[in-house]
Amino acid sequence: MANWSMVIDLDKCVGCQACSLACKAENNVPHGSPYEHKRHHDIFWHKVIAAWEGEYPAVNTQIIPMPCMHCEHPPCVNVCPSKATYKRGDGIVMQNFRRCLGCRYCIVACPYGARSFNFKDQADEEYQRPDLPKDLGLSNEGHIGPWPYPHRTRGVVEKCTYCFHRIDQALEDGEEVGSKLDGHHGVLPACVEACPTEARYFGDLDDPESAVSKLLASRSFIKLREEMLTSPKTIYLPR
């Protein structure tokens, strides 16, 4: 089984936020409002942050796209009392809306702020997304996912899924998944596909021939908050 990972080149990234918007569109993530923005109640599965350092004129800003890190040792999974959040075999950290109690322990535990809490009922028109994976109900054994999806329930935690539905569908259809360094990509998560500078790469960390493995072998890389021993699988290539 693959070990999915995302590599983001901070030298190419220009903070245009096409990734954040593509994520919103792909996953039907609801938009916020000024009120929610002020209280950090708005839902983002992916966000671009800017970190300023230095003093005029020697300033430096790091623009960092932040999906879920899909840690090897995810602290959110450890603290979840209801097993609503769990790690799949291929390394993707998932959230099952049905099991989620809304206790938000995971939000506290996550060192990356990758999780959002759903404070509101969704507007009905946002549900009308027949293209997204169907709500399979409890009866469908063996199927795991953030169900009910893309319907949302007030009072549950949401997060990035590396667009698991795209990956699963591609594997089912026998298509290739992941970036290629020559530009002929397989199926990719929405944010990777949308990146206009091609700063993002997605692929199998266990496959030495994948673009992500090659990039990590050829350049220095950073993992955010490595000291917390989460060993994230969203990895950054510094400028």
Partner 1 sequence: MSQAATDKPNSPEPKRSNGFKISRRAFLGVSGGVAAAVLAVVLALKRPKLAEPVETQTDKVVAADDLISTSCLNCPTRCAIQVRRVQTTAGKTKVVKISGNPASTYSEGKCCSRSHVGLQVLYNPDRFQTPLKRVGGTKGRDVNYDADFAPVSWETALQDVASKLTSPEKLLILQGLNTTSNEDLIRQFALAYGTRNLFDEEGLETAADREGKMLADGRSNSGYEMVSEDGISTKYILAFSSGIVESERPLARNLRLWGKIRRELPNKTRVVSFDPRYSVTASRADEWLPINPGSEGALAMAIAHVILSEGLYDTDFVNDHTDGFNDFSTLARTRRFSPESVSGISGVPADTIRRVAREFAQSRPAVAWSGEAATSWPYGTLASHAIYCLNALVGSIDVPGGIVYQQYPDYQPMPTSGLPITETGITFREMADLLRDGAVNAAIGFSSNLIMSVPESREDGRWDELLKNDNFFYVHVGPAKSEMAAYADYILPACTYLEDWGYESAIPGSGYAEVRIKQPVIAPRDESRPTARTVFDLATILGRRDFFLPPSSGISGDSKEFPEEFAAYRTSLFIAWSDFRWSESKKDNTGVWKGSSYSYRNYAFGTPSGKFEFHSSHLEYLLNVGLPGEGTDYPLELAIYRPVLEIRSGSQNFPWAQEMYLVMHGRGWRNLVEINRETAHEHGVGEGDEVVIESPYGEIEGEARVVEGMQPGVVAIATGQGHFASGEFADGMGCNPMDVIGTEYDEESGQPSFFSTRVRIRKA
Residue 41 binds partner 1 (CB under 8 A): no
Determine contact, residues 19/194, Cβ cutoff 8 Å.
yes
Which H/E stretch holds residue 167? helix 164-172
- Return the SS3 of 131: coil
Amino acid at 109: A
Determine contact, residues 118/32, Cβ cutoff 8 Å.
no
The only residue of 3, 5, 26, 90 in contact with partner 1, by rule CB under 8 A: 26
Residue 189 binds partner 1 (CB under 8 A): no
Nearer to partner 1 (CB atom), residue 3 or residue 159: 159
The only residue of 1, 14, 108, 229 in contact with partner 1, by rule CB under 8 A: 14
- The stretch among 53-61, 156-164, 206-214, 223-231 that binds partner 1 (CB under 8 A) is 53-61
Distance CA 144, CA 136 (A): 10
The only residue of 81, 82, 108, 196 in contact with partner 1, by rule CB under 8 A: 196
In angstroms, give the least distance from the CB of 34 to partner 1: 4
Residue 8 binds partner 1 (CB under 8 A): no
CA-closest candidate to residue 239, choices 4, 10, 8, 1 = 10
What is the x/- site pattern for partner 1, positions 65-104, by CB under 8 A? ----------------------------------------
In angstroms, give the least distance from the CB of 135 to partner 1: 7
Residue 25 binds partner 1 (CB under 8 A): yes
3-class secondary structure for 46-66? CEEEEEEECCCCCCEEEEEEE
What is the bridge-based pairing of β-strands 4-9 and 234-237?
parallel
The only residue of 1, 8, 39, 59 in contact with partner 1, by rule CB under 8 A: 59
Q: Provide the token pair at 152.
A: 């949302």
Q: Provide the token pair at 229.
A: 């021993």
Q: Provide the token pair at 74.
A: 């995810």
Residues that bind partner 1 (CB under 8 A): 9, 11-12, 14-18, 20-22, 24-26, 31-34, 37, 42, 47-50, 52, 54-57, 59-61, 63, 125, 128-131, 134-138, 148, 151, 153, 190, 193-199
